[in-house]
A and B are shown apart, each in its own frame.
Chain A
């Protein structure tokens, strides 16, 4: 039973990754623009690499914090805090939809990684994943630990599930980005954007609120 639950959690993480991946603001559109600029399909896919890494780092940062927090704080309390943060962040995004103020398209691969990290972080991509990450099994360090006194040697072996969560999410994201960018670049063209670019900020904000509410209710 436990394994079946895990399976669904990982599947949802994958789906969330795909959901992040199809959002044009998360990077596939940037990759397409760079490909069109260079007139090269290769450039599209090459650009997806730093974009994926940047996104994964943002997710890993949040999940990493969660791993530590789970050692120090009771799960029930964390669930409550995460629920509140998600709802609050979602409301802020709905109330005042701000976008990343970034000027510049000629980026090195490091800059593109940084851009993707910022785009994911600013959108709360990692936050959206936390309720699921919280459901994953994670062992407890035997001794009582504080933030300044974490036995990393004991902690690291316990991060397997979190690590897997980041990987699964990232694979989902990359798959969605590659498919979307590939099809748009090679087949459909950008005219599609004018019709089908739904207001992701709106859906995104609602998703955050939904995820937060579910976290609060799901005790």
Chain B
């Protein structure tokens, strides 16, 4: 049934979205690594609903676990069927609901649709799209980012139908939630895929590069990494004509170019991306992309160095280097484009930078939790492993939620004792620093590892805005 007024969670501009009411629920994708890696345990992945309302007696608890009907999907990223882009003036349709969560298995390529109505705290699986249907219709597999576009739902995929390259984008019809097909008309030189977003008011799409499925699904392929066969480039696209415009190489030694965080303000033409590792010194880098004379350029703005460590503290793969790489694997940008959050999964840090001037980031707080060597404690449970990984910022920018698992096949390389899944909350004061919430530490079922978090009503990486 269509609404009479626009969905109240849609905002014309990011400024207005920052004044949205506080989220009460968080949805968390959680996967069973043993099922993903076919290690005997076939319990399926699950969606967790976490109560994040401080007035609730269940604050900080998992209040619902929605088991998937199949085993071994490896839930990873997910998104909404509709968001603020429904207000975009070229095809406005704001009387639809932000209601369905769309999640693709990064291993199975299956798509799940969850209905968060009528009871948002107890979503139900209402549709499952078979992996073969995704592969047949779109020619892609290994599903990743989900974004609600003005015309359809966009999903990025790491691999082709046969699990090779190229990976790319596919479209899901946002009315009947059927796979429409491949997005690209002309992909140019793009082969490797990972994340995807846009400068929606400039008709510019952006994609990043992780690696070919064969280089990730069985762990890190060191030979391929040393030969720089992992991703190193950004791609810029003409969103209207679905045509590749330009590739930008981040430079010698950089490998795995992951999360794309364009400025939320649609008048701006810059954004941030993390490069996970530099082969020379194991550091991570943050780059800003920007437009100059109709050309896209990148500039390194931050370098997070590796931390020296004793050999016996390190997992086998890192012993020869005598250092812990920071492994900045996720970043997130507050809706006012002011604060950039960096997850250092290796060193166990959450860093914040003031990026009001995107070319001159200023440190603005940090929190330590977990880490390969540091195992920094949480006030509620003591030392933890894993480190800040998937990070999500509330719309008002005052709360930052994060989880600690990266990817089933890679977790044991860096945390051989087995990542014990957790989720944490940091309070972010714009004028002061970051404070870890001492109470918020939901108990996550032992066999599950949490990954992406989506907040009720939207968050800082769920919506696109057509108005400044």
Contacts and interface: CB of A to CB of B under 8 A. Distances in A.
A106 B203 contact: yes
B97 to A, nearest CB: 12
Contacts of B240: 103-104
A177 to B, nearest CB: 12
A197 B201 contact: no
A24 B466 CA distance: 14
Contact of B150 (A103, A115, A202): A103
B90 interface: yes
Contact of A33 (B11, B151, B467): B467
A36 B467 contact: yes
Given A29-B89, A190-B12, A194-B10, A106 B202 contact: yes
Contacts of B149: 103
B10 A199 contact: no
Contacts, number: 96
Contacts of B4: 198-199, 202
Interface residues on B, range: 35 or more
A86 B89 CA distance: 26
Q: Which of B92, B202, B467 has the most CB of A within 10 A?
A: B92
A99 B88 contact: no
B92 A104 contact: no
Contacts of A98: 175
A198 B3 CA distance: 9
B239 interface: yes
B93 interface: yes
Nearest to B12: A190
Contacts of B93: 97, 99, 201
B2 interface: yes
B87 A193 contact: yes
Contact of B203 (A103, A197, A198): A103
A194 B8 contact: yes
Interface string B54-68: 000000000000000
Interface centre among B12, B152, B239 (most CB of A within 10 A): B12
Contacts of A37: 201, 266-267, 468
A174 B3 CA distance: 28
Interface in B83-118: 87-95
Contacts of B92: 24-25, 29, 99
B5 interface: yes
Given A104-B240, A106-B202, A195 B5 contact: yes
Interface in A166-219: 190-191, 193-195, 197-199, 201-202
A194 B12 contact: yes
A33 to B, nearest CB: 4
Given A25-B92, A36-B468, A105 B2 contact: no
B91 A102 contact: yes
A10 to B, nearest CB: 30
B13 interface: yes
B355 interface: no
A184 to B, nearest CB: 10
A37 B89 CA distance: 12
B241 to A, nearest CB: 9
Contacts of A97: 2, 93, 95
Interface string B235-246: 000011000000
9 contacts: A32-B467, A36-B468, A103-B150, A105-B466, A194-B11, A197-B5, A199-B3, A201-B95, A202-B2
The 7 A-B residue pairs with the shortest CB-CB distance, nearest first, are A104-B240, A30-B89, A99-B93, A190-B12, A29-B89, A101-B151, A102-B90
Interface of A: 24-25, 29-30, 32-33, 36-37, 39, 97-106, 115, 190-191, 193-195, 197-199, 201-202
Given A24-B92, A191-B12, A199-B3, 8 more contacts: A25-B92, A97-B2, A101-B91, A101-B151, A105-B466, A190-B12, A190-B467, A194-B6
